[in-house]
Every structure is written in structure tokens, then in C-alpha cells.
Amino acid sequence: MINITETMMKLIKYAMCPEGEPPACDLPEEIVAKIYELSKLHDLTHLLTASIEKSKAAQNPALLKAFQKQTLMSVYRYERINHEFDRLCRALENAEIPFIPLKGSVLRGYYPEPWMRTSCDIDVFVAPENLEKAITALKDGLGYTDGERCAHDVSLFSKSGDHVELHFELIEDERVNDASNILGRVWEYSHKASGCGYRYEMTDEMFYFYHIAHMIKHFELGGCGVRSFLDLWVMNHRMDFNEQKRNELLEQGGLLAFANASKLLSEVWFGNADHTELTAQMEDYLIDAGVYGNFENRIAVTSAKKGGKFKYMLSRIWVPYERLKYVYPNLENKRILTPFYQIKRWCKVFSKKSRKDLSNEMKLAANQASGKTGQTESLFNELGIKI
């Protein structure tokens, strides 16, 4: 029997290391179609096109064209986002605002081709005291418009519709073990980029730490996608680094166990390592969840945190202040207003638009096997993630 996940990873591995021979792929059409759907779920289809072409795996012209279309779309997305990123950097430089590019804008430089590292957003970090000045610079200078404000970032949109997230916190308090204490010192672990006046770069160990912390955040929310593990593989194979410095920072933040397990899984998928029981469990949790996770995993995690399905359902009705303030940043330091914001949230949750989604979620929570919650709790404990 052909393993869809394993075959997809081999195709991705060849895309990242094209100097080798493409994997033998004498595959039935229905298998290639399943690989297409799985890779699209993780926003990685564009990486498979060259492998599919050279191995002649896609005999159906329409299916091959679907892969090729994803590659063309990725090149277009990169050119568009990169153009807007350059404009944003110039605007912040001109406004004399220190800033740190995050995620894909940094990582794509280490991929064989920059368009291979897709992203939907442009993520930039500024100090909280410079946030309003940065917003003004982008709105007045580039014509950006307002999106949502959260407790850790502000969304803006360019005239062409590109989504920009201005982060002023890298991880919210009470999330991801002790990561916020480390990430709160990000400027201590940053230096000016070469030839720039206000653009900064994180040191390798802080960039690696932030990546792991961001992975855990999404892991808790139901899944972090295969792309995060490919990024991890890139950071361990294409970047210069001091492993001791990385591990010291990870240990301080309580993230070392997850980092080690994730590194091993990246080697299983894109290197030559064999699965362990732990990496196999991680794969089961992640593969069907896609880039942003799924409800099933999210319910299992929250049920484990709350102590069962019934308490999970109660938690969806009454959200504690510590979580509600991230939904409504104006609630920060105003705990007395919690009941009013609960009512505001209920109006949104029980609106006609959201009612169907909530109903489906509650049905899924009620029908979920209790063993799923126990398995998820055991997995998180082994990965060192506090729940």
C-alpha cells in the first residue's frame, strides 16, 4: 500500500535538494490526486511540481496542469508580497522606526528559490511605544487601511489587498510555557541589518526560539502545518548556528523537549531519520489538520485543559478574563468590565452568521471519543507543553 504522506515528503525533499535523483513515482492517478489534495491542505503543492514532472507521476494532463498552476500562483504571490515588503521597509526606515521582519520574509532567503517559501501575510515587529507611529507611517505614506486589532498585533491592508501584521508582542502572556519572558527581551537579541538604519535582525538563537514558540502556539490551536517543519529543516541545514546557544534559550523558555521532537520529525520527513513512537503520534496529530489546525484537535486540547467535554462546552460559553482580553484588547486592566464583554462576545457567537459553526462545533465536541482527549494530553505532556 502506498503511503500518501511519505510519498509527499519525498517529493518535497527532492524539491529542496534537486541535485539528487527524483523519487521513483510510478503512481496511480488517484494516488497523485490525493497527494495534490494533501499538499494543498498544507500550502506546499507548488513544491511538488518539478518532482511530479521529472518523475512523470501525473499522466493526466489536467492534474499536471493543476500542479503547475499552484507553482505559477506561488511565484506571483512572492513577487507581489516581496514588492510590498520592500515598500513597507522603506516607509519604516524613512519614519525612523526600528523594526524586525519576521517569519517568511526572513526564511525565504534560505530556500532554493525565494518563491518556494509561500506566505499570506507580511509580518513585522515594532516596539509597543512605536506602534501608533508605525501605523501612521504606513497609512499616510502607503495608503494602508485598518484591519482588526488584537492584543499582540494590528492588521493593515495595502491598496492591492496585501495583509500586513504589525506585531508589538511576539507571544501573549500565559501561552507557550515561559516563552513570553524570553521573547520580551527580543531587542537584546537583535542587531541592525547590514546597510540599514532602522531594520533589525534577530540573532539566530532568538529567531529559532521564536519559530519554535510560534509552532507550539499553533500546535495548541489544533496544528501547525508541515511547512513549519520544513522551515525547521531549513534552519538546521541552511543556516549557520550555535546549537548550544539555541538549546540554552529553549531550555530557559521550557521549549526544548518540543524543539527536539520537532527537529527529529523534520528529519523523518525531509532527511533520513526513522520514526519513533513520539514522531508517529505527532504526524497523526498534524497531517489531517493542515496549515491552521482543525476543530477536532482544538477540541481535544481544550477538553484536556478543562478536564472533559462538558467543561469544554462551558468554556466556550463563558470565557475567563485571561483569554477574553486577547479577543478584546480594550479589556486589558479593566477586569470589572468582563461581564459586559462576555455579552458582547455572545452577540457575535450567537449571531445568525456564526450559529451554524457553533452548532457544528458543539456536536463535534459532544461526539468526540474520550480517548482522543487522553491521547492528546499524553502527547502534549511528552512534548513538554503545559496544558
Task: Name residue, grid cell 507521476.
Answer: 57
Instruction: Kindly give the confidence (pLDDT) of every residue in the chain, 387 residues in length, as a single tens digit, with 9 standing for 90 and above.
Output: 678 999 999 999 989 987 766 666 677 888 889 999 999 999 999 999 878 877 666 677 888 899 999 999 999 999 999 999 999 999 999 999 999 999 999 999 999 999 999 998 999 999 999 999 999 999 999 999 999 888 789 999 999 999 999 999 998 666 788 899 999 999 999 999 999 999 999 999 999 999 999 999 999 989 999 999 999 999 999 999 999 999 999 999 999 999 999 999 999 999 999 999 999 999 999 999 999 888 888 878 877 776 655 566 666 667 777 667 767 777 777 888 788 777 777 677 666 666 566 566 556 555 555 567 788 889 999 999 987
Pairing of strands 121-125, 163-167: parallel
Question: DSSP labels for 167-221?
Answer: ES-SS-TTSTTTHHHHHTTGGGGEEEPTT-SSBEEE-HHHHHHHHHHHHHHHHHT
Q: What is the pTM of this model?
A: 0.87
Task: Kindly tell me the sign of the dihedral angle through the C-alpha atoms of 356, 330, 305, 256.
Answer: positive
Cell of 151: 492584543
Burial-class residue 82 by CB neighbours within 10 Å (0-12, 13-18, 19+): middle
Alpha helix stretches (DSSP H) within the chain: 4-16, 29-41, 45-55, 61-94, 104-107, 131-142, 179-183, 204-220, 225-237, 243-252, 256-270, 277-286, 295-306, 309-317, 321-327, 338-349, 352-367, 370-382
**184 vs 187: CA distance, rounded Å:** 8
The total of other beta-carbon atoms located within 10 Å of residue 195's CB is: 6
**225 vs 46: CA distance, rounded Å:** 15
Which is nearest to 102 in space by CA: 87, 129, 120, 122?
122
Cell of 144: 494602508
Which is nearest to 319 in space by CA: 306, 304, 334?
306
Residues 213, 175 contacting (CB under 8 angstroms): no
**329 vs 91: CA distance, rounded Å:** 27
